[in-house]
Amino acid sequence: MPYRCDFAGERHHFTSLAQVMACASPARSGDALAGLSAQSAAHRVAARAVLADLPLRHFLDVALVPYESDEVTRLIVDTHDTTAFAPLSSMTVGDLRDWLLRPETDSAALAAVASGLTPEMVAAVSKLMRNQDLIIVAQKVRVVTAFRNTIGLPGRLATRLQPNHPADDPRGVAAAVLDGLIHGVGDAVIGINPATDSVPGALRLLTMLDDLRERYAIPTQTCVLTHVTNSLDIIARGGPVDLVFQSVAGSELANRGFGIDLALLHEAHDAARSLGRGTVGGNVMYFETGQGAALSANAHHGVDQQTMEARAYGVARAFDPLLVNTVVGFIGPEYLYDGKEIIRAGLEDHFCGKLLGLPMGCDACYTNHAEADQDDMDTLMTVLTVAGCSFLICVPGNDDVMLSYQSLSFHDALALRTMLGVRAAPEFETWLETMDLIAPDGSIRTLENGPAGLVHLLGDAA
């Protein structure tokens, strides 16, 4: 099939579907680094014109990453739901954009076609959309998951409490956990990135978190974000594993760089499910992704980084996860250069993940050498919340002292609850009320107004 377009007095030729997709992407440093981006604004518009006229069926006929050599492609193709795709089968990418934006295309309609959409299709349509389009459509999608509480309900915004410590000191971790809980943070998960990735160290932290959770009957889940093989070892030792964590990417080669394959993820999923630790649901997997992961591993197969990111969501949805989040600015300015690129990527990732049926969250973050600042993260956290993001990640004081990057703070979560009226997961909110950590109007108690629960927690910590 020829990929060409006349625009602005020039004839633009594209040699492959991958090139059309890459050139249609909004400008970003990673695609430029890989030599994949459009040569000019006119070149980008021409690619979008070609993309808009492509039938959605074309993405079922042309594999961006070869089927024979890539298990992620095989997963996407072999699990494609032709029945769910049928209502969309005569559409072009441009038609899909129009259909998504129609007022009558509601949550039920989007849920009905989710398994009929491939990652490449949703990546393609996202390239034709403005930021407001990405927000409007994602806002209509509802993906509800559960373990000890329920994530993704309308009017709710969950938070991951990230109490990292540069030496994995349990007292330092406990202090950060306490700080988060008294700010009403932690319903998505209390999740630690360990400084040293050892089984004994992860087991020690996990046991401490589980003891704390049980002591105060906190309806949340805990996780140490260690490698999936370590989680399997901890499960074999009888450790208290709620969620199995793993970073995933959009190609077999990139996942191999993470030390994983689909068979290993299936083994971990089955092992975690067998523990039966959930009380209100059985979603047991937690995945993190990020634009640029495949490119940084030289495992992108000439495909643009946003499309490769969407393919990672094709991996994630095969395991019915509780949580998926894009760590949107973490890899660095080589892939997302500044605040504008980070904000756009965060909205793209959220939109694509939600359309594919995933409980999407975001770490609205940036590295210290990126051309971004906390004002950019204020914008990103606000537009993601408006778009119906399932959860955001929060660290003490915006600054992760172990990973050395900037994210959102516990106070940012409070600001969003005040500005937009979003609330914590219902089971967690009830616990906050029981502990007298929130007032009748839903606002967080302070030391000045003397909540019994806060005094109790502080007294125990002392």
pLDDT at 447: 58
The whole model's pTM is what? Answer: 0.96
pLDDT at 353: 98
pLDDT at 462: 43
Does residue 454 carry a pLDDT above 80? no
User: Which tens digits make up the pLDDT trace of 252-276?
Assistant: 999 999 999 999 999 999 999 999 9
CA angle 52, 355, 406 (to 5 degrees): 105
- Rounding to the nearest 10 degrees, give the CA dihedral for residues 164, 168, 174, 176: -20
> What distance in Å separates the CA atoms of residue 116 and residue 407, rounded to the nearest whole number?
34
Question: Closest by alpha carbon to 285, among 295, 296, 270?
Answer: 270
> What distance in Å separates the CA atoms of residue 166 and residue 172, rounded to the nearest whole number?
9
Does residue 461 carry a pLDDT above 70? no
Q: Confirm if 24 and 51 have CB atoms less than 8 A apart.
A: yes
pLDDT at 69: 97
Residues of the chain with pLDDT > 90, as a percent, come to: 92
3-state secondary structure (DSSP) of residue 241: coil
pLDDT at 8: 75
How confident is the model over 203-218, as a mean pLDDT? 96
Residue with tokens 């105060």: 216
